[in-house]
Amino acid sequence: MFLNSVSHYLPETYIPNSHFIEKLGVSDEWIVKRSGIKTRTKASKFENTNTMGLEAVNTSIPSLPYKIEEIDLIISATYTPYDTIGTLAHFIQGHYNISNAICFSITSACSSFINAAEIVEAFFQNGKASKALIITAEHNSIYNNEDDKQSGYLWGDGAAATFFSKEKYSEKDFEIIDIHSEGLGNIGKGVDGVSLRPNEGGMKMPYGKDVFLHASKYMLKEATEILIKNNLTLNDLNYLIPHQANIRIINNVAENMGLSENQVLLNITEIGNTGCASSVIAFSQNIKKFKSNDKLLFSVFGGGYSSGSMLLKKI
Amino acid sequence: MFLNSVSHYLPETYIPNSHFIEKLGVSDEWIVKRSGIKTRTKASKFENTNTMGLEAVNTSIPSLPYKIEEIDLIISATYTPYDTIGTLAHFIQGHYNISNAICFSITSACSSFINAAEIVEAFFQNGKASKALIITAEHNSIYNNEDDKQSGYLWGDGAAATFFSKEKYSEKDFEIIDIHSEGLGNIGKGVDGVSLRPNEGGMKMPYGKDVFLHASKYMLKEATEILIKNNLTLNDLNYLIPHQANIRIINNVAENMGLSENQVLLNITEIGNTGCASSVIAFSQNIKKFKSNDKLLFSVFGGGYSSGSMLLKKI
């Protein structure tokens, strides 16, 4: 399984911490210390997960080594959907008139990208698909309550598109070495740790400490276990691409792994927590940095809870 | 791949057509003629997709031929989620303390059950899972606008749980012969045919005729093609289990297939359109009817659009 292309989209507007100072009665330093966030992206009133996902896909088109119409599996991933019936996956199918594709949207909160990749892997292996598109997109701002001191200042908006093929397509490809995911709804505060109940006020994070502890634990667990399973050591790893929920969680994981600062790809400082798109956006933002034979590791954690990892190698 | 158990849950309250007569300026006969619906289920204010899904799962527990803790893949399917972060799948995992399971929620609108089954099949085939639970649940009433004459009277609430194993478990099992799905976001009105935009007023069906035409066409196509692919004729088929969107669509498909009335399993008259749970609820309601070697065929259509089919045989 090979990753052929990645691209991302971020809205034009960046909201600085100063926006929250009066609203939440906190300081810029308080937000930075707790989260690492200085600004966060915010979609315009004309944007949503479908439009942002489309922008991300569009950016990949010129460099895609095959026609997008050849895609036979489209999975969108979002917990902040614009439309739960006409999903982002179906919207993309319609926009590009992709006439022969299995199509659905998934969520396991901020770990959805890894679950989607694991589904792609399975459909490649049983022959139901050979070229797949995963669109991760989050429109957190529309479900967020900015007056919530616990989590109102955390969220950003954005999208990313990744294209996969069963067979290798070009020397620009990344080879997927392994993918792992785990549902953790039975751990800690589980489904109450973070929630987005559209009919009960949207996004809430009443148990931040529980989320912090389990995200730190399971992102480290995912990262180390997938390396061991594939007979790799930390010395073999070039880059960690973590879910961008909170700089303290990421630093905790990176320190425990003994990684240097330049090995950890970050975007949370500028764009906030962009949900399941966050690690994919970080991957896309750094795409020119990767050299042949570099080994990259996604490690993610989702409220709900879930965790996941994906190990890949630049060809 | 085998289906080991199915069960369902329906709320206590049934709303009669008389509820809509004044509200929509229509008659009981008008509703029945257009949709076949006489009553529809409605969840109480204490219920949601998570609670209804749990009730459905609970009903299967006594007859389940293994412990639910052995499940290693949990997929929930809903376009009317209670929580998009703490999903129904994660809620079930937490409730039963299922400690080793891949977990996520999907939607392709009313065809989600077939997409979920296709994912189960792929994870069984590549060895990532061996026992799976699919929970289909819809809480249409909370996203519905009862004052919408186009579709306000159509929707019901309910849930169903299906358990699958890679290996045969008992003589009560059904063997899954084949599963097929197709995204149709590029057909007809596509994502605009039916929509559920939580931040734009919930569920809408502005293009009922387009939905009718494509649902009739693609449910027939799915049903006939999967039979042909598996070297079966209509004479081999015992029961059709269609998505229950509208009695006229179902009658259209059944007539084109030359099926007799007692071969088509229905619940739309009593419970309305219960979304992706509807066909699974019909399957569960009729479970005592099936005899050894009976062949059953699910054929579904989802707004967005999507279609899917599943062929199974009672052992």
pLDDT at A117: 98
| Catalytic (active site) residue B243 | yes
What's the gap in Å between the CA of B270 and the closest CA on chain A? 24
Would the CA dihedral through B266, B43, B309, B253 be positive or negative?
Answer: positive
B43-53 burial: b if 16+ Cβ within 10 Å, else e? beeebbbbbbb
pLDDT band at residue A207 using 50, 70 and 90 as cut-offs:
very high
pLDDT at B239: 98
Residues of B in contact with A142 (CB under 8 A): 199
Residues 17-56 of A with CB under 8 A from B: 50
Per-residue confidence of chain B (315 residues) as pLDDT tens digits?
999 999 999 999 999 999 999 999 999 999 999 999 999 999 999 999 999 999 999 999 999 999 999 999 999 999 999 999 999 999 999 999 999 999 999 999 999 999 999 999 999 999 999 999 999 999 999 999 999 999 999 999 999 999 999 999 999 999 999 999 999 999 999 999 999 999 999 999 999 999 999 999 999 999 999 999 999 999 999 999 999 999 999 999 999 999 999 999 999 999 999 999 999 999 999 999 999 999 999 999 999 999 999 999 999
Nearby residues of A251 by Cβ (< 8 Å), 6 or more positions away: none
ipTM: 0.98
Cα–Cα distance measured from residue B224 to residue A125, given in angstroms and rounded to the nearest whole number: 27
- Token reading at B157: 């609430």
The CB density around residue B3, as the number of other CB atoms within 10 Å, is: 25
Q: Does one domain contain both B250 and B277?
A: yes
pLDDT band at residue A236 using 50, 70 and 90 as cut-offs:
very high
C-beta atoms of A86 and B193 within 8 A: yes
Residues 77-96 of A with CB under 8 A from B: 79-87, 89-94, 96
- Note whether A84 and A199 are within 8 A (CB): no
3-class DSSP assignment, residue B292 = coil
Across the range A229-239, mean pLDDT stands at 97
- Token reading at B19: 């509820």
Task: Work out the angle at residue A290's Cα, subtended by the Cα atoms of residues A285 and A294, and round it to the nearest 5 degrees.
Answer: 135
pLDDT at A263: 98
| Tokens 């969107």 sit on residue | B245
Residues of B in contact with A43 (CB under 8 A): none
C-beta atoms of B183 and A121 within 8 A: no
Integer-rounded Cα Rg, in Å, for chain A is 18
Residues 98-117 of A with CB under 8 A from B: 98-109, 112, 115
Q: How many residues does chain B have?
A: 315
Q: Nearest Cα to B155, choosing from B170, B139, B166, B167?
A: B139
C-beta atoms of B91 and A191 within 8 A: yes
Question: Mutual orientation of helices B49-60 and B88-96 as an angle, nearest 10°?
Answer: 50
Nearby residues of B46 by Cβ (< 8 Å), 6 or more positions away: none
Q: Does one domain contain both B28 and B137?
A: yes
pLDDT band at residue A287 using 50, 70 and 90 as cut-offs:
very high
Q: Nearest Cα to A273, choosing from A144, A115, A114?
A: A144
Residues of B in contact with A89 (CB under 8 A): 108, 183, 185
Would the CA dihedral through A64, A70, A73, A78 be positive or negative?
Answer: positive
Residues of B in contact with A109 (CB under 8 A): 84-87
B234-258 burial: b if 16+ Cβ within 10 Å, else e? eeebbbbbbbbbbbebbbbbbeebe
Q: Does one domain contain both B116 and B137?
A: yes
What's the gap in Å between the CA of B75 and the closest CA on chain A? 10
Residue in chain A nearest B200 by alpha carbon? A82
What's the gap in Å between the CA of B202 and the closest CA on chain A? 9
> Is B193 an 8 Å CB contact of chain A?
yes
Q: Nearest Cα to A205, choosing from A155, A268, A159, A248?
A: A155
Which of A165, A198, A227 marks a domain boundary?
A165
Which of A110, A144, A165 marks a domain boundary?
A165
Rounded alpha-carbon distances, angstroms, from residue A40 to A153, A195, A268, A278, B130: 8, 20, 8, 12, 42
- Token reading at A245: 């929920």
> Is B192 an 8 Å CB contact of chain A?
yes
| Catalytic (active site) residue B110 | yes
Q: Does one domain contain both B40 and B157?
A: yes
What's the gap in Å between the CA of B225 and the closest CA on chain A? 15
Q: Does one domain contain both B203 and B108?
A: no
pLDDT at A79: 98
Q: Does one domain contain both B32 and B128?
A: yes
pLDDT at A198: 96
Which amino acid type is present at position A302?
A: G
Nearby residues of B145 by Cβ (< 8 Å), 6 or more positions away: B152, B201, B202, B203, B204
Helix or strand run (H / E) with residue A220: helix A208-229
> Is B119 an 8 Å CB contact of chain A?
yes
- Note whether A131 and A70 are within 8 A (CB): yes
Domain at B51, CATH number: 3.40.47.10
Integer-rounded Cα Rg, in Å, for chain B is 18
- Token reading at A298: 């996604």
Cα–Cα distance measured from residue A231 to residue A214, given in angstroms and rounded to the nearest whole number: 26
pLDDT at A209: 94
Q: Does one domain contain both B153 and B187?
A: no
Rounded alpha-carbon distances, angstroms, from residue B6 to B101, B137, B218, B274: 20, 13, 26, 16
Helix then strand count (H, E) for chain A reads 10, 13
Residue in chain A nearest B202 by alpha carbon? A83
Residues of B in contact with A144 (CB under 8 A): none
Note the pLDDT tens digit of each residue in A33-75: 999 999 999 999 999 999 999 999 999 999 999 999 999 999 9
B174-200 burial: b if 16+ Cβ within 10 Å, else e? bebbbbbbbbbbbbbbbbbbbbbbbee
| Tokens 């008389």 sit on residue | B18
Across the range A198-208, mean pLDDT stands at 94
pLDDT at B272: 98
DSSP-assigned letter for residue A217: H
Q: Does one domain contain both B184 and B141?
A: no
3-class DSSP assignment, residue A8 = strand
Quick check: bond before B305 cis, omega within 30?
A: yes
> Is B70 an 8 Å CB contact of chain A?
no
pLDDT at B143: 97
The CB density around residue A13, as the number of other CB atoms within 10 Å, is: 14
pLDDT at A149: 92
C-beta atoms of B105 and A109 within 8 A: no
Nearby residues of B54 by Cβ (< 8 Å), 6 or more positions away: B91, B92, B95
Backbone angles phi, psi at A111, to 5 degrees: -105, 10
Q: Does one domain contain both B20 and B151?
A: yes
Q: Residue B39: which domain range?
A: 2-165
Nearby residues of B22 by Cβ (< 8 Å), 6 or more positions away: none
Of all residues in chain B, what percent are helix, strand and coil, respectively (each to 5)? 40, 30, 35
The CB density around residue B26, as the number of other CB atoms within 10 Å, is: 15
Note the pLDDT tens digit of each residue in A89-145: 999 999 999 999 999 999 999 999 999 999 999 999 999 999 999 999 999 999 999
With 0-12 / 13-18 / 19 or more C-beta atoms within 10 angstroms meaning exposed / middle / buried, residue B233 is exposed
> Is A121 an 8 Å CB contact of chain B?
yes
Helix or strand run (H / E) with residue B22: helix B18-24
Q: Does one domain contain both A24 and A121?
A: yes
Which of A45, A75, A85 is best to mutate for the B interface (most B CBs within 10 A)? A85
What percent of chain A clears pLDDT 70, i.e. is strictly above it? 100
Which of A104, A138, A165 marks a domain boundary?
A165
Domains: count for chain A: 2
DSSP-assigned letter for residue A154: S
Q: Does one domain contain both B89 and B24?
A: yes
Nearby residues of A272 by Cβ (< 8 Å), 6 or more positions away: A37, A39, A40, A41, A140, A153, A154, A155, A156, A244
CA atoms within 13 A on the CB side of A250: 28
Q: Does one domain contain both B185 and B148?
A: no
